[in-house]
Amino acid sequence: MHGTRILNEADRLMTVCNSCRYCEGLCAVFPAMEMRRAFSDGDLNYLANLCHACGACYVDCQFSPPHEFNVNVPKTLAVARAESYAAYAWPQALSGAFTRNGLVISVIAALSMAAFILGFAALNDHSALFGVHTGAGAFYKLMPHNAMAALFSAAFLYAILALGMSLRAFWRDIGTPIGGRAEGGSIFQAIRDAGELRYLHGGGVGCYNEDDKPTDRRKVFHHLTFYGFLLCFAATSVATLYHYLLGREAPYPVWDLPVVLGTLGGIGLIVGPIGLFLAKTRRDPALLDENRYGMDVGFIAMLFLTGLTGMLLLILRGTVAMGPLLALHLGAVFALFITMPYGKFVHGIYRFAALVRYAQERRPAA
Amino acid sequence: MALTSSHRADGMSSKYDVLVIGGGNAALCAAIAARRGGASVLVLEGAPKFYRGGNTRHTRNMRCAHDAATEILTGPYTEEEFWEDLLRVTGGQTDEVLARHMIRESKDILNWIVEQGVRWQPSLGGTLSLGRTNSFFLGGGRAMLNALYLTAEQLGVNVAYDAEVTDLVIEDGMFLAARLKRPINGETEIRATSLVAAAGGFEANIEWLKQYWGEAADNFLIRGTPYNRGSILKMLLDKGVQEVGDPTQCHAVAIDARAPKFDGGIITRHDSVVFGIVVNKHAQRFYDEGEDLWPKRYAIWGRLVAAQPDQIAYIIFDSTVVTSFMPTLFPPIAARTVAELAGKLELEPAALENTITEFNAAVRPGTFDHTVLDDCVTEGITPPKTHWARKIETPPYLAYPVRPGITFTYLGTRVTKEARMLMADGKPSGNMFAAGEIMAGNVLGKGYAAGMGMTIGSVFGRIAGREAAKHARN
């Protein structure tokens, strides 16, 4: 018996699947399963986070419902995965944030954006907030650079700490790799597998949605979102280097690297989340953990909001809207940072770790 | 592609060029080949959509001849070698002309089936012995079916589910129409220029099985869906089509007695016989558990158990061999002592203790190797265990209850090389073709080798579809 009802169900399914093995060519979950004859809580959480939810094993399974064996691996692992997020959350006192995650994320985002608006209004006079500011340092007329840097560094470092502690709990729980050996090559393999979403492919044809016709939509939109996020992160990093190393202050001209990176990333963060949201509505409900709809949509919305406010800020930065938009953008980014350890963002962390573990296990022992 | 039949606005026509009855591999290959041959095609699948495809649902590979290794096959498997394997498993009960034709055509099927959307993968874990000869479907038989249905529908083949056929109108060896239990778009009679019957055998028809097996058939478990009732086969034979294959025979393996009555598929199988002993409900051994290697032994234990009282038997082994075979769907029944195990199995404890004591005393020392016919044997007991004999003495003691699991039946319709049915008077039918399990008995008079059912289905399905379309065009 396991710690939770869903892990008991996952164990039952892995026992069924391990006596069948027809799906072993579809993704990483089934080969990893085949390396085990019995499943601990940690094993099941590892498999749950290794699953990319493409849905192929459900469509291909002769025992999926209405068959009495009632095999629904994507849904069961989706629920187990979501429950694992709460189980590994740090500090544990905040794990409750996962239960009504959509609401929690919305409230924090709203509060954060309101705080920046009110803060700007309180600390600046009316003419500054709605004034037209241009040239280097324009943003810092509304919020001093040092204050901005200190606040966001604190939020970012907190997110890194919380995510790191959560990851540590996950890594400890999934135990030692079976068979293989731990070394650097596995990390590079996992970076490749995660970077190309190797296992979000239904065995090569794409994800399964509302019918039997697989598509690659989710993969494409996830790439747009993920690489958009990375480009935005790179834009911020480059800008930080400009500021401290070169003494060049934002805003930068449109041809400059931070703006180019940010623009490309921003487009990704607008188009990607919209596509992911639409793709979500087209999925067969049988495959989904409907209780985590809020968590999924909350995270997609946060990314979209970050991208949208950033792009609007770029377009309208020479107008009176710059002040309020800067407040909204900073509010969105702040909320994104502090909710990262308590929302859907963590899926990337655990899945990456699971891919590292999988790469270790598939590596022939020395 | 212009449809020659009178099409209705809703896409369903009451008169088709080719009517395919059945919904598995053979039926879909026929439908696709006929459609590609220019015919309008309707597929009538008697099962609901989820259960579509008959036994194909539970398959996982196909045996095709090939002259060189491929991406997923480890080496060549020549036509001659395929033929020798077929000759061996059937003991010569095969139609050589038909069989050689099938084997020759199977080479092209390896590529043709991929063009229909089916994807291959290397042999699955635990099936290394098939890595050279058999191509495995990525995702298994249902994935294969999904691909074939998707291709058929994209080509414009009409498919109806829950479409039970109650009667076939046949005159002078010519198919005229099929009558339906429930109307499809208001029609209860479907006319077509050609018929492809690809509706499988009668393994799920317990009443029919009882004709040959008596009340014992009540204790049989059926590995496929409850829809394999053989009703089309029966109609065809009743209306003058020549039969082929032994009606009393079916392919049976030992499966877990706790499996559902129908559709437990492959996962209820047990291949642990060689690691212990098998006793009947009187706790007596009844056959040499060490006679042969997989897969030959796999296919004999179903009928051995069927011959035992109440059609039940128990594989008994001990804790030393638990990890020697694939994990099982149902856990073994475990006990600290033999007597306790007997109690759990509702066997006479003294009888089971006696059987195991006698067996252990008869085991001679040897070097155990389950991958070859090793030298671990018993002496002085009947039946002997001629390989892999080791004492059962390390608790916990474990057991799997097993019953006969019926896979398929051999009775079918006789066909020509063109998959055209032959009538009882020896004349070929004008417009009736058959493919798949319903005519497998032509090639496979008895026995089985992994993947042959799918070869028969795809090869003759494609031929039947092609020929049926050709007939419809002329």
| Range scoring the smallest mean pLDDT among A128-132, B263-267, B410-414 | A128-132
B21 pLDDT band, cuts 50/70/90, is very high
Rg, chain B, Cα only: 24
- Sequence-distant (≥ 6) Cβ neighbours of residue B117 within 8 angstroms: B147, B148, B150, B151
Overall average pLDDT of the B192-215 stretch = 97
Nearest-by-Cβ selection for A19 from B60, B142, B326 = B326
DSSP string, B159-206: EESS--EEEEEEETTEEEEEEEEEEETTEEEEEEEEEEE----STT-H
pLDDT, one tens digit per residue, over B297-329 is: 677 899 999 999 999 999 999 999 988 888 999
B4 pLDDT band, cuts 50/70/90, is very low
Sign of CA dihedral B7, B8, B11, B16: negative
Q: Is B368 helix (H, G, I), strand (E, B) or coil?
A: coil
C-alpha B6: how far from its chain's center? 37
Distance CA B472, CA B452 (A): 29
SS3 for A247-303, per residue? CCCCCCCCCCHHHHHHHHHHHHHHHHHHHHHHHHHCCCHHHCCHHHHHHHHHHHHHH
Question: Which of the two residues, B6 and B325, has the higher pLDDT score?
Answer: B325
Question: Which of the two residues, B34 and A180, has the higher pLDDT score?
Answer: B34
Contact A280, A296 (CB under 8 A): yes
DSSP string, A84-151: HHHHH-SSGGGGGGGTTHHHHHHHHHHHHHHHHHHHHHHHS-HHHHTS---STTSGGGTS-HHHHHHH
Contact A105, A302 (CB under 8 A): yes
- Sequence-distant (≥ 6) Cβ neighbours of residue B167 within 8 angstroms: B178, B179, B235
| CA nearest neighbour of A243 among A229, A231, A254, A257 | A257
Rg, chain A, Cα only: 22
Which pLDDT score, from 0 to 100, does residue B296 have? 67
Which pLDDT score, from 0 to 100, does residue B120 have? 94
CB-CB under 8 Å, A204 with B119 = yes
Residues on chain A touching B58 (C-beta within 8 angstroms) = 62
Single pTM value for the model: 0.94
Phi-psi group of B163: left, alpha or beta (phi > 0 → left; psi -120 to 50 → alpha; rest → beta): beta
CA-CA distances (angstroms) from residue A234 to A145, A243, A326, B341? 19, 14, 19, 66
Which pLDDT score, from 0 to 100, does residue B128 have? 65
Which pLDDT score, from 0 to 100, does residue A10 have? 98
Asked whether residue B435 carries a pLDDT value surpassing 60, the answer given is: yes
CB-CB under 8 Å, A62 with B150 = no
Residues on chain A touching B150 (C-beta within 8 angstroms) = 212-213
| CA trace torsion B54, B55, B56, B62 (10° rounding) | -150
- B57 and A CB contact within 8 Å: yes
First to last CA, chain A: 35
Contact B168, A54 (CB under 8 A): no
The angle formed by the CA atoms of residues B202, B208 and B213, to the nearest 5 degrees, is: 110
Q: What percent of chain B has pLDDT over 70?
A: 95
Which pLDDT score, from 0 to 100, does residue A312 have? 96
Contact B17, B191 (CB under 8 A): no
Q: State the best of B329, B330, B400, B454 to mutate against chain A, taking most chain A CBs within 10 Å.
A: B329
Phi/psi of residue A68, nearest 5 degrees: -65, -20
Can you tell me which residue has the tokens 């252990």?
A: B360
CA-CA distances (angstroms) from residue A138 to A251, A315, B432? 7, 15, 84
CB-CB under 8 Å, B328 with A67 = no
Asked whether residue B1 carries a pLDDT value surpassing 80, the answer given is: no
ipTM of the complex: 0.93
Distance from CA of A45 to the nearest CA of B (A): 20
**Helix %, strand %, coil % for chain A, to 5?**
70, 0, 30
Contact B269, B407 (CB under 8 A): no
Distance CA A3, CA A16 (A): 20
- Sequence-distant (≥ 6) Cβ neighbours of residue A222 within 8 angstroms: A197, A200, A272, A276
Q: State the best of A22, A63, A361 to mutate against chain B, taking most chain B CBs within 10 Å.
A: A22
Contact B118, B135 (CB under 8 A): no
B36 pLDDT band, cuts 50/70/90, is very high
Q: State the best of A14, A19, A26, A62 to mutate against chain B, taking most chain B CBs within 10 Å.
A: A62
Overall average pLDDT of the B361-379 stretch = 93
Can you tell me which residue has the tokens 């058929």?
A: B152
Which pLDDT score, from 0 to 100, does residue A180 have? 61
Distance from CA of A48 to the nearest CA of B (A): 19
Residues on chain B touching A31 (C-beta within 8 angstroms) = 125
Written as tens digits, the pLDDT of chain A (366 aa) is 888 999 999 999 999 999 999 999 999 999 999 999 999 999 999 999 999 999 999 999 999 999 999 999 999 999 999 999 999 999 999 999 999 999 999 999 999 999 998 998 888 888 888 888 888 888 898 899 889 999 999 999 999 999 999 999 999 999 888 776 666 788 999 999 999 999 998 888 888 887 778 888 899 999 999 999 999 999 999 999 999 999 998 889 999 999 999 999 999 999 999 999 999 999 999 999 988 999 999 999 999 999 999 999 999 999 999 999 999 999 999 999 999 999 999 999 999 999 999 999 988 755
Which pLDDT score, from 0 to 100, does residue B5 have? 43
Phi/psi of residue A193, nearest 5 degrees: -65, -40
Interface contacts (A, B; CB < 8 Å): 80
Sign of CA dihedral A255, A259, A261, A264: negative
Nearest-by-Cβ selection for B146 from A31, A60, A63 = A60
Asked whether residue B229 carries a pLDDT value surpassing 50, the answer given is: yes
Distance CA B329, CA A57 (A): 18
CB-CB under 8 Å, B323 with A16 = no
CB-CB under 8 Å, B60 with A22 = yes
Neighbour count for residue B394 (Cβ, 10 Å): 12
Distance CA B187, CA B321 (A): 59
Which pLDDT score, from 0 to 100, does residue B252 have? 93
Neighbour count for residue B445 (Cβ, 10 Å): 20
| CA nearest neighbour of B264 among B186, B329, B179, B180 | B329
pLDDT, one tens digit per residue, over B55-75 is: 999 999 999 999 999 989 999
Phi/psi of residue B378, nearest 5 degrees: -105, 160
Strand pairing report for B313-318 and B420-422? unpaired
Asked whether residue B47 carries a pLDDT value surpassing 90, the answer given is: yes
Sign of CA dihedral B17, B23, B24, B25: positive
Distance from CA of B267 to the nearest CA of A (A): 5
Please tell me what DSSP assigns to residue B8.
-
First to last CA, chain B: 17
CB-CB under 8 Å, B143 with A203 = yes
- B143 and A CB contact within 8 Å: yes
pLDDT, one tens digit per residue, over B151-180 is: 999 999 999 999 999 999 999 999 999 999
Which pLDDT score, from 0 to 100, does residue B2 have? 37
pLDDT, one tens digit per residue, over B89-138 is: 999 999 999 999 999 999 999 999 999 999 999 887 666 678 999 999 99
Amino acid at A75: K
Amino acid at B92: G
